[in-house]
Amino acid sequence: MKFEAAVLGKVGGRLEVQTLEMAPLEPGDVLVRLHATGLCHTDLEVIQGSLAYPMPIVLGHEGAGVVEKVGKAVTAVKPGEHVVCSWNPHCGHCFYCERGLPILCEPHTRHQPRGRLLDGTIRMHRDGEPVHHFFETSTHARYTVLPESGAIPVPPELPFDRACIIGCGVMTGIGAVVRKARVEAGSSVAVIGAGAVGLNAIQGARLVDAGRIIALDVSAERRSRALAFGATDAIDAAAPDAAEQVRGLTAGRGADYVIESAGHKSAFRLSVEAVRPGGQVVWLGKINVDEEVPFRWGSLMGEKRIVRSSYGDAMPRRDFPWIAREYMAGRVKLDELITRRIGLGEINEGFDALARGEGIRTVVELQ
């Protein structure tokens, strides 16, 4: 079948909406007609070149739509179901899957960085040439094919624009707090970086009834958004005494939990300065993989636990429907996260705005 997709041909290039050819479904494939897709910072990293992927490629890994067709071996979803894409399809039986770490699934980590699906192959072509998949989802398109474990059913009452953002930014932020750090009620949580992921970490802290929720960001606009999403305090992350201010709000000890979601060297350093001895740090942000980050050795001492997480320990089949229900019950804000809606033809303008740091999430409406 033919379908339209936004194709990136080279680093630093513009996305071009082109007609591609999708290969027939393999037995484990799910074909989804996408209705909405978000623009995530990770997509921008590929455009800008700090994250290397083979080209040409169809970016996008936050998507929601309707299952159009399934391969003959698929049992977990059926045509007509509403789904949110998970960018962590996994085999379910490799070394890491068997240890409860689907994010490290061996076929996934082997093939995904090479722009391929879980089985190592490619479904998309342009004039006979392969076009690479991104995060096994490639949602900046009107259709996508993904492995069964990447198509997660959600309640049909959930609007597609709000559904799509659950697939990355919302899951990662809420998951970092609820699943990865397992923050207890009454604990203090500091969140560094109040962008799309950080705001969701703040929402996660509110969901588990954390006590003090301290947002740190260099932008006054983002600090005020953080307060609207449930932070109890906001601190300028650029202030030389930012860690001292966190200690001032936490009986002089530092926060029980620090979630880093800014993706800057200074934020990684601040995270370990601001956590209390024995506390837990979760790093969500990322910088170029070859960069080095210097730490003050003393800031790493004191029995601190530091962990990096890409997807907030997501178990999408468990967590996406849960977040959808929390939204429908009024306990998670999704409407307020979407600050711009565009068509597929405006996708470059959407990324330009993301590069300028404008808004929270831009959603492309596809149908």
Stretch that binds Zn ion, among 1-9, 85-93, 220-228, 244-252 (CB under 5 A): 85-93
Q: If binding is defined by CB under 5 A, does position 40 make contact with Zn ion?
A: yes
Q: How many residues sit close enough to Zn ion to count as binding (CB under 5 A)?
A: 8
| Closest among 113, 226, 133 to 173, alpha carbons compared | 226
Residue 253: CB atoms within 10 Å: 14
Complex with Zn ion: residue 46 or 94, whichever CB lies closer: 94
Place of tokens 């932008």: 219
Residue 186: CB atoms within 10 Å: 11
Stretch that binds Zn ion, among 86-94, 195-203, 218-226, 239-247 (CB under 5 A): 86-94
Q: How far is CA 184 from CA 211, 240, 314, in A?
A: 9, 29, 18
Residue numbers 275-294 binding Zn ion by CB under 5 A: none
Shortest spacing between CB 92 and Zn ion, in angstroms? 6
Q: If binding is defined by CB under 5 A, does position 105 make contact with Zn ion?
A: yes
Complex with Zn ion: residue 86 or 245, whichever CB lies closer: 86
Q: Which two tokens stand for residue 234?
A: 């906001």
Q: Work out the angle between the directed axes of helices 41-48 and 347-355 (0-180°, nearest 10).
A: 90
Q: Are 161 and 334 in contact (CB under 8 A)?
A: no
Shortest spacing between CB 201 and Zn ion, in angstroms? 14
Shortest spacing between CB 168 and Zn ion, in angstroms? 3
Residue 87: CB atoms within 10 Å: 28
- Binding Zn ion (rule: CB under 5 A), the pick from 8, 20, 30, 91 is 91
d(CA 164, CA 158): 10
Q: Are 320 and 86 in contact (CB under 8 A)?
A: yes
- Binding Zn ion (rule: CB under 5 A), the pick from 35, 82, 90, 116 is 90
d(CA 139, CA 97): 25
Shortest spacing between CB 145 and Zn ion, in angstroms? 19
Q: Please, what sign has the CA dihedral across residues 215, 221, 227, 229? A: negative
- Binding Zn ion (rule: CB under 5 A), the pick from 37, 42, 86, 203 is 42
Stretch that binds Zn ion, among 3-11, 24-32, 96-104, 249-257 (CB under 5 A): 96-104
User: Torsions phi, psi of 70, nearest 5?
Assistant: -130, 150
Q: If binding is defined by CB under 5 A, does position 97 make contact with Zn ion?
A: yes
| Closest among 310, 341, 250, 306 to 39, alpha carbons compared | 341
Shortest spacing between CB 222 and Zn ion, in angstroms? 18
Shortest spacing between CB 61 and Zn ion, in angstroms? 6
Complex with Zn ion: residue 168 or 215, whichever CB lies closer: 168
Stretch that binds Zn ion, among 87-95, 303-311, 327-335, 345-353 (CB under 5 A): 87-95
Q: Would you tell me which residues interact with Zn ion (CB under 5 A)?
A: 40, 42, 90-91, 94, 97, 105, 168
